[in-house]
Amino acid sequence: MRAVSSHLSADEICELRTHGVEPEYYREVKSIDPELSIDEITRLRTHGVEPGHLKKIRGAAPTLSIDEVTELSTHGVPGSFVAETSREGYHFSAEELSELWSHGIDADYLRSLQQMGLKNLTSKQILHLRGVS
């Protein structure tokens, strides 16, 4: 771990190892977001957030907190869905993205709504149109 980051203290290295953070994982997530704290990195690892998933989410929604990123991962929301909703002009919260995804809303469905002239809908409106109350 010291070869990856020479500034880590012994306590930080122990914390990372305790949570299963391997040197390569640490290196990858720090390359995506250099500002991540040890606590944030261990939370990502503990919740099974892979570096590629973090990169897609950060690319689409850079302001989401680590808690929001882990929420998306826990609910199985792919980074591509976050990116596609952003490209379509939506700015949903992590909670809204998780709810939409869990009810089968995907980017194709959102595009079809926009093609029908239904733009700037809230997540609640989209769910209502899908028959979810």
In this prediction, residue 123 carries a pLDDT of 96
In this prediction, residue 43 carries a pLDDT of 96
Residue 44 has pLDDT above 90, yes or no: yes
Q: Band the pLDDT of 87: cuts 50, 70, 90.
A: confident
Residue 19 has pLDDT above 70, yes or no: yes
Instruction: Write the CB contacts of 35 (distance below 8 Å, at least 6 apart in sequence).
Output: none
Helices 94-102, 66-74: inter-axial angle, 10-degree rounding? 10
3-state SS, residue 106: coil
